[in-house]
Amino acid sequence: MEALRFQVVGEAFKKKPLDVKAPSERPCEYFGKKVFNREKMYKYLPKDVYEKMIDVIDNGSRLDRTIADAVAAGIKQWAVENGVTHYTHWFQPLTEGTAEKHDSFIEHDGKGGMVEEFSGKLLVQQEPDASSFPSGGIRSTFEARGYSAWDPTSPVFIIDDTLCIPTVFISYSGEALDYKAPLLRALHAVNVAATDVCHYFDPTVKKVTSNLGWEQEYFLVDEGLYAARPDLLLTGRTLMGHDSAKNQQMDDHYFGAIPERVQAFMKNLEIEALELGIPVKTRHNEVAPNQFELAPIFEETNLAVDHNMLLMSVMKRVARKHGFRVLLHEKPFAGINGSGKHNNWSLSTDNGVLLHAPGKTPEDNLRFATFIVETLMGVYKHNGLLKASIMSATNAHRLGANEAPPAIVSSFLGKQVSELLDHIETADKDFLAMAGKQGLKMDIPEIPELLIDNTDRNRTSPFAFTGNRFEFRAVGSEANCASAMIALNSAVAEALVDFKKRVDARIPEFEKKLAGTEHSAKFHAIIDVLREDIKTCKPIRFDGNGYSDEWVLEAEKRGLDVEKSCPKIFERYLDDASVKMFESLGVMTKKELEARNEVKWETYTKKIQIEARVLGDLSMNHIIPVATRYQSELLTNLNHMAVVFPIDTADKLSARNKKIIQEISERTFAIEKGVEELVDARKLANKITDEHEKAIAYHDKVEPKFDEIRYQIDKLELIVDDALWPLPKYRELLFIR
């Protein structure tokens, strides 16, 4: 019988690109077609209700329960016109992905018939039977249920026949059980803190928005090949597989022509994304074969996070239509680049100023320096926590390998910004006082926006300044961006609050010194605090090669977090400094943090556990039997040779086969031994009841056993007859498209 592998390879080769019909309208016409956006609110809501909704969205004013019925009625009318029959609260539990429970609109009408209903109550709150979502023990199965609550700042949308309502998911006692609730709190905190600081420069600022533009990397694999790889199917990555003779060394995939079947998929995906209001803009090949990237135009962070979650699920669905599977795992293939999700982040004011972009006047640039330095202060103080926010069992494979950001958080600023900060730090302390007496003349160099050169980039930096934003590159491709955004926005909010306190305390001092020039006293106080902070956060600034061994030593000397073990990195969430920060900003309580860490450790353990099982099964059921079969063929050949040739000649002629027979025995033996040890290590780890300790045992004792087994299997792949090898090989997974 022909191996499944050859069947699926043959079929994959024959597949033709799907013919994707573009809508008759232009993209700007069908953009947001499936979203209850402002335009539709205007059309479907009474005028006063519309105005209240806009006030809720733009100014964060409280949602008045009395308007909920009117909003629900408008939404329902629009939904029904679009063929919708069901609705769901759509939320982001602490597992990966999103969750939903669909209910239909129909209700008994009391006269034996049915009516379609959708009230404000159903829009605002739902109680999904959520006991099986991870809660880290906050809400055990027997306790009160969790409920989901409408987030009016992220518009409802339609998928197929279902109206999806973005919601937070919280326990009955108010603890967050999801990503969105703490994200909204962190965004509120950074808004308040940054607005206060903005008032030094412009008293008319009412609101500061956090912006996020993510760049989603992913792999595509033919569906048939995927199905023939139980490891991909069950763990999202290949647990074995020898390098393809050719992989990414030619750099010919990056920005190369997009293969046709992939192009059709992308086209389809983009149409669906645009209809859902996701402003996708860029698509291209990535460095590795079969690796691609998609990026939208940046948006307000909460919306951007929702859009990324939505996009990931749409991607999976559309990929299947095209006979592909999309791999979002950070490291599906050993030896070639993994996937990340760069998070481009910045703050901007309601009057349109990008706070991380340099301006035209010295005052603008003082404000620019303030936001750069206080961002660095936040990142410096909480560098370990930021690493924890992007760490996962899957992203651990990517960080630290020589391709992606290293497992140490540092920041690259580029020459111009570094010089600006050096200038502020080292300039003569009196120069400002002198200038101050003559009015406001600040010796802050101008940096025209255009000069901040995008080419001045350092690809190895996990947190790089790129002209008008920071790019947090360590985020994993599979991750919910909310995790990184909660930590980053909170860290910066805390730094800004602290900054403001110190500046305010120093203003009177400078007023005394510079009698009569109250305006500049403020600026002097700002510069004084900035100087201090530039010195303090210097250890986080690093423009060199983040992959070098020297950097690890240097970073350790600087006091940066250099821990590499995933479960230990999670501990940073419970550091006093982290708890204090999250609690003081009202983002998360200690209880919530503890519960969430339980979930993180448990998830980590489960992932490694599943991988260990799959590796064991594949070794015993796929690899060893096939290697042994090939070995038997060689043995038969040996016997036949001995019959045909005189013994000396047969010996000589069979030397190579004998060697292989022996090698197969040695390697299968080593695999078997490895699997036994793996099972033993797992059994031992499973006895541990504490989730933290168990995760550490899985990291220290179980996972390291994978390497030896894989090494032996990959060697066998090189010597066993290709016709017998059961699993699609790297060259097939990576080059068929």
Footprint on this chain of Mg ion (rule: CB under 5 A): 342
Cβ closest to ligand ADP, residue 148 vs residue 370: 370
Residues numbered 653 to 682 that lie near ligand ADP (CB under 6 A) are none
Q: How far is the CB of 354 from ligand ADP (least distance, A)?
A: 5
Residues numbered 33 to 72 that lie near ligand ADP (CB under 6 A) are none
Gap between the Cα atoms of 674 and 667, Å rounded: 10
Q: Is 301 in the site for ligand ADP (CB under 6 A)?
A: no
In eight-state DSSP terms, residue 498 is H
Provide the β-strand partners of residue 630.
Answer: none
- CA nearest 44: which of 12, 17, 77? 77
Q: How far is the CB of 340 from Mg ion (least distance, A)?
A: 9
In the set 34, 76, 267, 469, which binds ligand ADP (CB under 6 A)?
469
Cα angle vertex 293, ends 290, 297, to 5°? Answer: 165
Residue pair 344/214 in contact (Cβ under 8 Å)? The answer is yes
Cβ closest to Mg ion, residue 457 vs residue 622: 457
Q: How far is the CB of 346 from ligand ADP (least distance, A)?
A: 3
Cβ closest to Mg ion, residue 293 vs residue 561: 293
In the set 92, 244, 389, 468, which binds ligand ADP (CB under 6 A)?
468
Q: How far is the CB of 466 from ligand ADP (least distance, A)?
A: 7
Buried b (16+ CB within 10 A) or exposed e, 658-687: eeebeebeebbebbeebbeebeebbeebee
Q: How far is the CB of 286 from ligand ADP (least distance, A)?
A: 11
Gap between the Cα atoms of 44 and 456, Å rounded: 49
Provide the β-strand partners of residue 125.
Answer: 149
Q: Count other Cβ atoms within 10 Å, centred on residue 142.
A: 6
Gap between the Cα atoms of 578 and 183, Å rounded: 15
Q: Which stretch binds ligand ADP (CB under 6 A): 262-270, 289-297, 418-426, 723-731?
A: 289-297
Going 509 to 515 to 517 to 518, the CA torsion angle's sign is positive
- CA nearest 572: which of 490, 511, 633? 490
Report the DSSP pairing between strands 291-296 and 341-349.
Answer: unpaired
493: its two tokens? 């909010």
460 contact, one of Mg ion, ligand ADP, none, CB 5-8 Å limit per kind: none
Gap between the Cα atoms of 347 and 364, Å rounded: 15
Q: How far is the CB of 215 from ligand ADP (least distance, A)?
A: 5
Residues numbered 337 to 356 that lie near ligand ADP (CB under 6 A) are 344-346, 354
Q: Which stretch binds ligand ADP (CB under 6 A): 42-50, 94-102, 294-302, 521-529?
A: 294-302
295 contact, one of Mg ion, ligand ADP, none, CB 5-8 Å limit per kind: ligand ADP
499 contact, one of Mg ion, ligand ADP, none, CB 5-8 Å limit per kind: none
285 contact, one of Mg ion, ligand ADP, none, CB 5-8 Å limit per kind: none
Residues numbered 254 to 283 that lie near ligand ADP (CB under 6 A) are 282
Gap between the Cα atoms of 315 and 309, Å rounded: 10
Gap between the Cα atoms of 37 and 40, Å rounded: 5
Residues numbered 192 to 221 that lie near ligand ADP (CB under 6 A) are 211, 213, 215
Using CB under 6 A as the binding criterion, the count of chain residues that bind ligand ADP stands at: 14
Q: How far is the CB of 546 from ligand ADP (least distance, A)?
A: 17
Q: How far is the CB of 357 from ligand ADP (least distance, A)?
A: 7
| Binding positions for ligand ADP, rule: CB under 6 A | 211, 213, 215, 282, 295-298, 344-346, 354, 468-469
